[in-house]
Structure 1
């Protein structure tokens, strides 16, 4: 029993002496974040800039790619009420004050309708669809920057890897001693691995947030299409129910209220719109 205790004690003492030996001999400690950054080579500065840009993009997209920035219930209620009152000019002014995608669609459609009162409604609908496609393309093109960062960051990290390996092989081929060459080889490999890891650390969150915002954009684009179709259908029904005669005339010529739809020219057209009855 005493022999076993002496053996275990001897093993513990030897283990403690081995673990304390590197400290006594001045073995290198774990590097901090700044030291790791400096060990990664010149490509780490490019990766730092890319990471800052990534954070800025994420913050901007979180603030701008929202439902209220595309289609809000408040705008839909106001636009529905104004279209039913045929207050088209008032709705155009209201759209100018809003920053929503649906506001741009309705604004372009009504501006075309007021400037071209005799145009068939199918042209108004086509213009609304074109503007809706443009707004959807704008939302989609924004988030592609995250995909670009996810593709560029690993490439920059790979460049750092190649430069680190080239540095290592240059020192290996030098005329220094064996120990010096091993130290230089370890430094070059360390630089290569740090650059590669940094590129992946940036690329992975970029891909995650790209997938997140892509799903959000697809959902909001679908809501934008549904909202545009809803308002266009109401607008078409209001135009078809207008009486024959001064359907696009001024309020004075129609005898209506001042907040009704009015053309910029004072003279009433007084022409029936047969091209709308078939829609």
Structure 2
């Protein structure tokens, strides 16, 4: 493999960098988009249960905020309801929507970079192949002193094509992971929106005063 990379020449260096960056981003997204960090399954029901008699204490809200992305959004709803009497639904929804936009931006982090690598890798591979072909045919031109050996020419073309092959090897898995993470984030955002609406209705229905 090392000899192939050396034979492919300098144009393969950007592809190597793209492959390293894409691998790092995929690992980071797998760790950051775990369900436990974004959307714990029972957290909404627990937040509703703990606030049946009123807004919970500040330490409970702070603990909820540190729990996950969903917990952060629910905590913003608690604070909005705690700020004014009557727990107006519009203020609660506005606060949760603002928090939800920040969460959505965080969930979508690095996805554009993955999409860019998936799009650019085949082009970089093609560029390396074109540069290799130019060098090969330039060395075979009359007056260069190089013999027109068909076997040597075929070997040089095969080496030039390594760049295109490596570009596709980088691009295809990156594209698959980008589509997977994109779908996962979209699913999370939908569930966060539904959970926020349900929680806003719950807070709007509270009539008890906040507990000290």
Task: From the superposition, tell whether residues 234 and 167 of structure 1 become closer, same or farther in structure 2 (CA, over 3 Å).
Answer: same
Q: Is the 8 A contact 1:88 1:110 kept in 2?
A: no
- Per-residue displacement from partner, 1:56-94 (whole Å, max 9, x unpaired)? 222222222122222113422331122213215243222
- Say whether the 8 Å CA contact 1:71–1:227 is kept in structure 2: no
Alignment of 1:182-261 (within 5 A): 182=150, 185-238=153-206, 241-242=207-208, 247=209, 260=211
Q: Are 2:119 and 1:157 aligned?
A: no
Q: Verify the 8 A CA contact 1:82 1:91 in the aligned structure 2.
A: no
CA distance in 1, matches of 2:66, 2:26: 26
Of the candidates 33, 37, 61, which is equivalent to residue 92 of structure 1? 61
Cα displacement (A) at 1:171: 0.7
How far, CA to CA, are the matches of 1:175 and 1:67 in structure 2?
63
The C-alpha deviation readout for 1:195-214, integer Å capped at 9, x for no partner, is: 01100110001111112222
| 5+ residue gaps, structure 2 | none
Q: Would the alpha carbon gap of residues 226 and 49 (structure 1) be closer, same or farther in structure 2, given more than 3 Å must change?
A: same
Greater relative contact order (Cα 8 A, min sep 6): structure 1 or 2?
Answer: 2
Using the TM superposition, give the Cα deviation of residue 137 of structure 1 relative to its aligned residue in structure 2, in angstroms.
Answer: 3.2
The change in CA–CA distance for 1:177 and 1:199 in structure 2 (over 3 A counts) is closer
Pair 49,177 (structure 1): closer, same or farther in 2 beyond 3 Å: closer
Query: Is the aligned partner of 1:171 residue 2:118?
Result: no
- Indicate the structure (1 or 2) with the bigger Cα radius of gyration: 1
Q: Give CA deviations for 1:173-215 in whole Å, capped at 9, x if unaligned.
A: 24314346x5664454233200011001100011111122222
Backbone CA RMSD of aligned residues: 2.3
SS at match of 1:73: coil
User: Which residues in structure 2 correspond to 1:1-279 (within 5 Å)?
Assistant: 33-86=1-54, 87-98=56-67, 100-117=68-85, 120-173=88-141, 174-179=143-148, 182=150, 185-238=153-206, 241-242=207-208, 247=209, 260=211, 262=212
Q: Is contact 2:140–2:146 with CA below 8 Å preserved after alignment?
A: no
Q: 1:115/1:176 Cα in 2 relative to 1: closer, same or farther (>3 Å)?
A: same
Q: Do 1:113 and 1:119's aligned partners in 2 also have CA atoms closer than 8 Å?
A: yes
1:84 is paired with a residue of what secondary structure? Answer: coil
Q: Runs in 1 of length 4+ with deviation above 6 angstroms?
A: none
Unaligned 5+ runs, structure 1: 1-32, 249-259, 263-279
Distance 2:36 2:200 in 1: 20
| Cα deviation, residue 161, structure 1 | 1.2
| Separation in 2, partners of 1:64, 1:49 | 22
